[in-house]
Every structure is written in C-alpha cells, then in structure tokens.
Amino acid sequence: MTFIFDTGSAWTWIPNIDCPDTECTRRHYRYQDSTGYRTSSVEKEVFYGIGYVKGNIVNDDIAITNSMSTAAKDVNFLSVSNAKSLDTLLSDGLLGLSPFNEKRDKTVHLLVTQLKEDHVIEKAMFALYLTKLPA
C-alpha cells in the first residue's frame, strides 16, 4: 500500500474493506486476512482542512518494507470505514510519524514509538532524504 508521510500526526490510518469505494477510492486493508489483527470498539475521527476519516482504533503488526524484520508489533492505528472529501488523495492512507499522540498516552502503541520499542529503529525519530531523480 502507499502512504502519505504526515509529520504532524501520530495516527496512521488505513481504509478497510468496509469503506465504500466512493469514499476510499484506492486500496483497502483486508483485516480478515491478518492473523494478528485485533479490533476495538473505540471510534476515532480525524479532521483535516478539506475532509475527515472515521473508524475504529485497531491493532496489528505493520512492516515498513516487504520484510517482517522491519515490522512493529502491536501497533494501534485507525481502520477507516468512512471518509469525506479525500477522494483526490494520491495514496491509500496516511502514515503518522509523530512518536506522541495528542494526549501522550503511553498505552497507545503508535508506529514510530513501537518501531523503537521493537528495536527496528534506534530512536523514536525519523528523517527524510530528498534527492533529484535521474532524468
């Protein structure tokens, strides 16, 4: 799946198969195919300037490459079942890179923090490297 890196948000969100194609126009997370998926009844909405997403906070392993050696175990993220005005988004979902949620709640296992806890990365931080593509 493809994601927009969001440096201002801690929440990763992924549209699930229950999100209508008219609202979530790209690829969908097939939670029933995951052996580690755990759901909750906790709903969350995230608002953006042009729209919002809504879904349940769920838990699963997230790998940042095709290898499970780069997986963070037991990551909380938003499994999106509704979205509004994000049909022009050029990705499947959003990858929140902030290591802290808005309440600094340590019981919420967010991606960057969990990558550090699982020793995939040394520090709960990230960097971007921008380069020109060859012509």
pLDDT of residue 134: 80
Question: Could you tell me the pLDDT band of residue 108, with boundaries at 50, 70 and 90?
Answer: low
Q: Is residue 108 part of a domain?
A: yes
pLDDT of residue 98: 74
CATH code: domain of residue 9: 2.40.70.10
Range of the domain at 19: 3-117
pLDDT of residue 11: 80
Q: Is residue 7 part of a domain?
A: yes
pLDDT of residue 3: 84
The stretch 58-76 carries a mean pLDDT of 82
Q: Is residue 71 part of a domain?
A: yes
pLDDT tens-digit profile of 36-51? 778 888 888 888 777 8
pTM value is 0.74
Q: Locate 13 and state its tokens.
A: 């969100």
To the nearest whole percent, how much of the chain has pLDDT over 70?
A: 91
Q: Is residue 131 part of a domain?
A: no
CA-wise closest residue to 62 among 21, 97, 19, 26 = 97
Q: Is residue 34 part of a domain?
A: yes
pLDDT tens-digit profile of 50-61? 788 899 888 888
> Quick check: 19 pLDDT over 60?
yes
